[in-house]
Amino acid sequence: MPALSTLHGATSTILSNLFINLPLPQPTPHLPHQTMIVTGANTGLGLETSRHLLHNGLGKLIMAVRNLEKGHAARQELVLEGVRRGGDREREEGRIEVWHLDMDSAKSVQAFAARCGGLGRVDGVLANAGIMTGTFRYKKRTQAFEQTLTVNVLHTMLLAVLLLPVLRASYARTGYAPRFVVPNSALHYLAPLGDGSESDTPILTRLNNPDLSLMSGRYPLSKLLVLYAVRELASRTSQTDLPVIINTPNPSYCVSGLARERAGNAAERTAEKWIARSTEEGSRTLYHGLVVAGGESHGGYLTNCHVQEPACHVTNQWGQKVQKQFFEELLATLEKIQPGISANI
């Protein structure tokens, strides 16, 4: 990775976290009528974003979770908070639903997307569920790709493309352009560029080879691939009559539970104490991408609640070439999961 890009990613994160106060989420006239989906909603950034949405008057929240027991516990927590703010218990309970979604499973993603088709409207999707691991593994025997690649990239984009017709239909009924939001990270500046992109071997094939994969950089690389996918998907959807805003905000380094594998690490604890944003602060950026950001954010990387240019290896000629190559491989992979899905774009 270019040294200047690495330096920029690190220094911008530290300076942002120490010196920039993010705007508090505010209600909008649309929220009381809207339905939003948050994946990974029972903990961390997903839970805090859900909390902001409800506090600011969201009409209906779909909490998409892998563990239903934990999801219902989080729902109960949010209901009680609403009651303490003076809300009617029956109304508070009625505006929060818990749905099952396992991002490890393509069948679960497909079933979830099909269920979303029964909603009257879907005004926003925060595809927050993700993992960070230094271990190369296939979690399920039937899983075709390494787990980080599967959850953070392939199945997240599967969900996005499956939901495009649902979001299009919602716009036709309401006139409101829905948002599809995928959290990103300044770690994309540090992604190991040689891992999957400097070979005649297809990118996904190389990334799925444990002997060729640098797992210490897999999470940053997954965020770089998300950037490529979001930018290319946005460029293709903007060429059609598809009023859906797709963006990828960076909540920055914050306390989220994502790095639980390193939770006992002394350096990690020290960094969290002195540099990391709180989970609530980080969630403000996701709320902004989901509720506040408009058409200017389509395909954009957002930092500190503003559209920002991503790393040069995203925007330069080399990055554009890799972006298109990766997206074609991504579409081919999604077609194997659900034939005909490319027609949704």
Q: Could you list the active site residues?
A: 219, 223
Is it the case that residue 129 has pLDDT exceeding 80?
Answer: yes
Mean pLDDT computed over 340-345: 96
φ, ψ of residue 127 in degrees (nearest 5): -85, 75
Residue 10 has a pLDDT of: 62
pLDDT tens-digit readout, 78-119: 999 999 999 999 999 999 999 999 999 999 999 999 999 999
> 317-337 and 218-237 are packed helices; what angle lies between their axes, rounded to 10 degrees?
90
- Mean per-residue pLDDT over the chain, rounded: 90
Residue 199 has a pLDDT of: 63
Domains of the chain: 3-337 (3.40.50.720)
pLDDT tens-digit readout, 187-225: 999 998 765 455 678 999 999 999 888 899 999 999 999
Calculate the alpha carbon distances from 38 to 94, 97, 156, 225, 273 in Å. 16, 11, 12, 21, 27
Residue 267 has a pLDDT of: 59
Is it the case that residue 317 has pLDDT exceeding 60?
Answer: yes
Residue 20 has a pLDDT of: 80
Is it the case that residue 36 has pLDDT exceeding 90?
Answer: yes
What the block records as the tokens of 59 is 């009409």
User: Which has the minimum average pLDDT: 30-34, 249-253, 336-340?
Assistant: 249-253
Residue 245 has a pLDDT of: 96
Is it the case that residue 320 has pLDDT exceeding 70?
Answer: yes
Residue 297 has a pLDDT of: 96
Residue 14 has a pLDDT of: 67
Calculate the alpha carbon distances from 295 to 176, 246, 318, 338 in Å. 12, 9, 26, 29
Q: What is the largest CA-CA distance in the chain?
A: 61
Residue 18 has a pLDDT of: 64
pLDDT tens-digit readout, 155-167: 999 999 999 999 9
pLDDT tens-digit readout, 250-303: 998 888 777 655 555 665 665 666 578 899 999 999 999 999 999 999 999 999
Is it the case that residue 4 has pLDDT exceeding 60?
Answer: no
The pTM (predicted TM-score) of the whole model is: 0.92
Residue 138 has a pLDDT of: 83
